[in-house]
């Protein structure tokens, strides 16, 4: 059960990370005419979040495949905390924007953190 929960969480995060990266061009275009520096900042931040989500996904997969030992347990705790911090940030920023993909971040981050916590409790 632990392995299945971690793999499910990792796959959801990886999928969201890829969708996030693929949407970057459209998001930047949505800002209209902005300076090249501002454009680079938006691209950097969107891709940074995508990379962070892929990293968390990779950590979850590693723990799922290697087993939950003491180190793995702490990795899961840190991943859950990070996902919840991202969720809180998204609630106060993107969730307030009337654009569905922005509003999906908090439930995705919180939901995957709950899967991670459930996996940790099942271990």
pLDDT in tens, 32-69: 999 999 999 999 999 999 999 999 999 999 999 999 99
pLDDT in tens, 57-66: 999 999 999 9
CA-to-CA separations, 80 to 37, 49, 60, in angstroms, rounded: 33, 16, 10
Please give, one letter per residue, the 3-state secondary structure of 81-111: HHHHHHHHHHHHCHHHCCCHHHHHHHHHHHH
Supply the pTM of this predicted model: 0.91
pLDDT in tens, 81-96: 999 999 999 999 887 8
**pLDDT recorded at residue 88:** 94
pLDDT in tens, 99-120: 788 889 999 999 999 999 999 9
């Amino acid at each position: 059960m632990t392995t299945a929960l971690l793999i499910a969480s990792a796959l959801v995060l990886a999928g969201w990370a890829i969708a996030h990266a693929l949407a970057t061009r459209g998001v930047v275009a949505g800002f209209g005419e902005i300076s090249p520096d501002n454009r680079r900042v938006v691209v950097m931040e969107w891709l940074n979040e995508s990379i962070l989500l892929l990293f968390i996904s990779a950590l979850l997969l590693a723990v799922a495949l290697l087993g939950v030992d003491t180190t793995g347990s702490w990795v899961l705790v840190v991943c859950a905390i990070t996902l919840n911090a991202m969720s809180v940030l998204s609630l106060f920023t993107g969730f307030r924007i009337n654009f569905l993909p922005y509003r999906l971040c908090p439930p995705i981050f919180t939901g995957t953190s709950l899967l991670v916590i459930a996996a940790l409790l099942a271990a």
